Amino acid sequence: MIINGVQIDDTFAEAFNMRGTRVIITAQNLKWAYHAANAMTGFATSVIGCGVEAGIERELSEHETPDGRPGVSILMFAMGSKVLMQQLETRMGQCILTCPTAAAFAGIASEDKINLGKNLRFFGDGYQTSKLFRDANGIAKRYWRVPVMDGEFLCEETTGMVRAIGGGNFLILATSQPAALAAAEAAIVAMKKIPNVIMPFPGGVVRSGSKVGSKYKTMFASTNDAFCPTLKGTTNTELSPEIESVMEIVIDGIGFEDIAESMRVGIQAICDLGKSSGVKRISAGNYGGKLGPHHFKLHEIMGNPTL
């Protein structure tokens, strides 16, 4: 398949099951909401080393937040519910509780609940108080008010936890490093408009895609040498001679359709740049179907703009 001069490989991205949650962070203004959210989603690029993958989903206006202040929504994903709970509580305690004027609320409804402020309240040392309010749908929700030095830290007791998918991805193969990065940036701009997904790596882009295993016994993942342009002559390369740089975009999302749609708009944004942008091919990372049950086939995704 070729779109606007860019070749789309007949391959698929392989993704796996995760557990996910959404938290709404509000503050006195967007600047402080971002300070809190950036701290909370920092060092959360990959479950391999960080425990969770997290990112800012989107900005929220005063009309979209529970307390009528500006805020952002955060998505957080982990391989299991236990890790997700631990990481959420730790990050809430160190990044949101500590951030001036910040408050945290549940961002997703589910029968599965995980703690948001349920244990953080004990920081109040007995001065904490709870309030039970009904939302616009008549559902009762408990909030904790913890006295802190800037006033009160307000936090909903729990948030929902849902089944999610991690590891959706595509690769951008270009004739130069600046060309690959410019294309990746264009894709990220388009993909950030899609709800229910995050691209957890720095700026949404990964340069160090990995393969499973290594020649070193202690390493269970190592550089994806087949896509390393400087190894074209020494390894079983996937790259043609003119490819000089490869960037990867990894996507985690609540549902299959969310990830597929974000991949579609991202790849389309790159293709819209045209052949002159230096992008030659779009490919995807998979492990022969052995890693995860979710396969995002590039030709199907790009052949169905209504996905």
Partner 1 sequence: MTALTFTLNKQLLFNINCSAVNPSNLAKKSMSEIASILINHGKNQLRVDEIFEITGKDTQNILFKNTNNKLDYLGANMTSGCVTVEGDAGAYLGFGLKNGKIHCKGNTQAFAACNMISGLIQIDGNTGDFLGGASSGLRKGMRGGTVIVKGNAGDRTGDQMRRGLILIEGDAGDYCASRMIAGTIGVLGEVGDYACFNMKRGTLLLTRLPTLHATIQDCGSHTLPFLNLMFKSFAPFNTKFSNIENPRVQRFVGDAACNGNGEVLLLLQGQ
> Please, how many CA atoms are within 13 Å of residue 252, restricted to the half-sphere of its CB?
31
Stretch of residues binding partner 1 (CB under 8 A), selected from 30-38, 124-132, 160-168, 287-295: 124-132
Report in angstroms how near the CB of residue 158 gets to partner 1 at its nearest.
15
- Candidate residues 61, 98, 129, 304; the one interacting with partner 1 per rule CB under 8 A: 129
- Candidate residues 10, 42, 67, 90; the one interacting with partner 1 per rule CB under 8 A: 67
Residues 233-292 that bind partner 1 (CB under 8 A): none
By C-alpha distance, which of 81, 152, 28, 33 is closest to 89? 81
Q: Tell me the number of residues near partner 1 by CB under 8 A.
A: 22
By C-alpha distance, which of 266, 213, 292 is closest to 18? 292
Stretch of residues binding partner 1 (CB under 8 A), selected from 112-120, 144-152, 182-190, 209-217: 144-152
Kindly state the greatest CA–CA separation across the chain.
67
- Candidate residues 136, 149, 217, 236; the one interacting with partner 1 per rule CB under 8 A: 136
Give the span between the Cα atoms of 234 and 137, in whole angstroms.
62
Give the span between the Cα atoms of 164 and 19, in whole angstroms.
5
Q: Considering the rule CB under 8 A, would residue 154 count as an interface residue with partner 1? A: yes
Give the span between the Cα atoms of 10 and 16, in whole angstroms.
20
Q: Considering the rule CB under 8 A, would residue 142 count as an interface residue with partner 1? A: no
Stretch of residues binding partner 1 (CB under 8 A), selected from 106-114, 121-129, 228-236, 256-264: 121-129
If the CB atoms of residues 154 and 270 are measured against partner 1, the closer one turns out to be 154
Q: How far apart, in Å, do the first and last CA atoms of the chain sit?
A: 18
Q: Considering the rule CB under 8 A, would residue 143 count as an interface residue with partner 1? A: yes
Residues 19-58 that bind partner 1 (CB under 8 A): 26
Report in angstroms how near the CB of residue 36 gets to partner 1 at its nearest.
14
Stretch of residues binding partner 1 (CB under 8 A), selected from 132-140, 197-205, 210-218, 272-280: 132-140
Q: Considering the rule CB under 8 A, would residue 135 count as an interface residue with partner 1? A: yes
Report in angstroms how near the CB of residue 103 gets to partner 1 at its nearest.
6
Give the span between the Cα atoms of 307 and 304, in whole angstroms.
6
- Candidate residues 19, 91, 121, 145; the one interacting with partner 1 per rule CB under 8 A: 145
Q: Considering the rule CB under 8 A, would residue 122 count as an interface residue with partner 1? A: no
Report in angstroms how near the CB of residue 94 gets to partner 1 at its nearest.
21
Residues 93-112 that bind partner 1 (CB under 8 A): 103
**CB 209 within 8 Å of CB 171:** yes
Stretch of residues binding partner 1 (CB under 8 A), selected from 8-16, 147-155, 258-266, 271-279: 147-155
Question: Where does this chain bind partner 1 (CB under 8 A)?
Answer: 26, 66-69, 103, 126-127, 129-136, 138, 143, 145, 151-152, 154
